[in-house]
């Protein structure tokens, strides 16, 4: 009797053999009875999802869709060979998927748990899709912050900042740049057992530092470092800037550099930090988009330093993380030794306000005047105010090029 030498569909996509029990379990799941769980209890949208049969064929019980976006789909599944709940990311763009897999394989050089990085388990392929299996984390940091109905105390901001600095320090040790640091890409491991234990996820845009090309535009507008906008040489410092923006936004509950376009964003940076050094402006490929050679300086609104010791330390770290010159921006290893990261007591957390985890937390309106001033300094101005300021300076032939602002605003 002749048999085909071609691999079975299962071997072809996973390299694994499914035993009789696994096949029976998959059949039971498809019948709506797997592990005593009815089909009604599953995500109803899964029945029409064309990717679900591929996951089932590969040895997974699909429980629900966690996220669906332009990049692909993430499912919560049970891996039948390990009986563990995992997250499986389905990608249709193979080149992007292979680049992400390459970055994730590089991460395996590191202690992922110690360095607060998501654990990548394995991947498998079909002709039109690549699937990546990760550890299942709990919830997005964004979801937790939105549930509070209160500002985040500095002690909580410190915990999250410290863990992300550890992650950036680890990435720097293997010369990797994440290129997408934002609140959506930070997840809690288990917010009930380990409150505020977080991990950095989504390495779809990560690359080796040598692959950063001067002039490339990446990062969303809120986290985009000035060296990206100006077209300066790039390195790992772009991630530190993005983390600084994130840390500030956790405190003030809004983006620190408000602006509906890149023009407005640059105006906010100049108002807070002053004009970048002449050397940076002369080096930038895109400087003329934002600055005129004969322009007068914009009046600055500097970060305040009043308040308690923890507030002063917080603002000082922010200044160092948000240093406009990337060569002067604080490195992760140095930031981990900063007083704000190492301090144990946070007097600003104990103003009048609602109780949380056994301590009193200041409400947005109850913070001391020094914190209110800091909040105004950090926030700078709302989008409409910044746009109006940009238009006024354009009329006076001052700092910012209005023509480029209109072009960017129309393309945003």
Do the Cβ atoms of 289 and 400 come closer than 8 Å? no
Residues 180, 202, 310, 377: which is the catalytic one?
180
Closest CA to 75 of 44, 25, 67: 67
Query: Which residues 6+ apart lie within 8 Å of 342 measured at CB?
Result: none
Give the CA distances from residue 400 to residues 26, 43, 379, 390, in Å, rounded to whole numbers and listed in that order.
62, 51, 20, 7
DSSP H helices, 237-368, are 237-252, 262-273, 278-283, 309-321, 332-335, 339-342
Alpha-carbon distance of 33 to 24, in angstroms, equals 11
Alpha-carbon distance of 303 to 374, in angstroms, equals 7
Query: Which residues 6+ apart lie within 8 Å of 374 measured at CB?
Result: 303, 304, 306, 307, 311, 315
Do the Cβ atoms of 167 and 107 come closer than 8 Å? no
Query: Which residues 6+ apart lie within 8 Å of 396 measured at CB?
Result: none
Query: Which residues 6+ apart lie within 8 Å of 292 measured at CB?
Result: 397, 398, 399, 401
Closest CA to 390 of 307, 289, 309: 289
Closest CA to 251 of 384, 362, 116: 362
Do the Cβ atoms of 23 and 17 come closer than 8 Å? no
Q: Is 111 a catalytic residue?
A: no
Do the Cβ atoms of 252 and 261 come closer than 8 Å? no
Catalytic residue positions, numbered: 180
């Amino acid at each position: 009797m002749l048999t085909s030498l071609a691999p079975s569909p299962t071997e072809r996509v996973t390299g694994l053999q499914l035993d009789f029990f696994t096949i029976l379990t998959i059949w039971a799941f498809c019948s709506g009875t797997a592990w005593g769980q009815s089909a009604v209890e599953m995500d109803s949208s899964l029945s029409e999802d064309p990717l679900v049969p591929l996951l089932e064929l590969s040895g997974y019980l699909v429980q629900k869709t966690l996220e669906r976006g332009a990049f692909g789909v993430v499912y919560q599944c049970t891996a039948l060979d390990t009986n563990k709940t995992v997250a499986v990311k389905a990608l249709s763009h193979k080149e992007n998927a292979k680049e992400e897999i390459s970055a994730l394989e590089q991460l395996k050089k590191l202690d992922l748990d110690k360095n607060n990085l998501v654990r990548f388990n394995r991947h498998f392929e079909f002709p039109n899709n690549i699937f990546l299996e990760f550890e299942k984390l709990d919830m997005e940091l964004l979801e937790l912050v939105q549930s509070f109905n209160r500002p985040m105390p500095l002690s909580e901001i410190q915990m999250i900042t410290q863990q992300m600095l550890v992650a950036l320090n680890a990435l720097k040790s293997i010369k990797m740049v994440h290129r997408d640091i934002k609140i959506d890409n930070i997840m809690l491991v288990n917010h009930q057992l380990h409150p505020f234990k977080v991990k950095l996820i989504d390495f779809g845009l990560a690359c080796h530092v040598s692959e950063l090309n001067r002039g490339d535009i990446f990062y969303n507008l809120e986290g985009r470092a000035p060296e990206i906008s100006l077209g300066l040489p790039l390195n790992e410092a772009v991630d530190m800037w993005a983390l600084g923006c994130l840390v500030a936004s956790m405190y003030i509950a809004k983006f620190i550099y408000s602006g509906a376009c890149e023009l407005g964003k640059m105006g906010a940076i100049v108002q807070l930090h002053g004009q970048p050094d002449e050397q940076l402006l002369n080096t930038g490929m895109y400087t003329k988009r934002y600055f005129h050679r004969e322009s007068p300086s914009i009046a600055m609104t500097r970060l305040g330093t009043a308040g308690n010791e923890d507030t002063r330390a917080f603002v000082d770290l922010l200044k160092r993380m948000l240093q406009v010159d990337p060569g002067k921006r604080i490195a992760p290893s140095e930031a981990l030794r900063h007083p704000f990261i190492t301090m144990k007591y946070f007097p600003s957390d104990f103003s009048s306000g609602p109780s949380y985890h056994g301590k009193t937390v200041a409400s947005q309106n109850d913070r001391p005047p020094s914190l209110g001033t800091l909040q105004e300094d950090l926030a700078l101005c709302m989008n409409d105010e910044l746009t109006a300021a940009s238009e006024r300076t354009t009329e006076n032939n001052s700092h910012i090029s209005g023509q480029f602002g209109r072009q960017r605003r129309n393309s945003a």
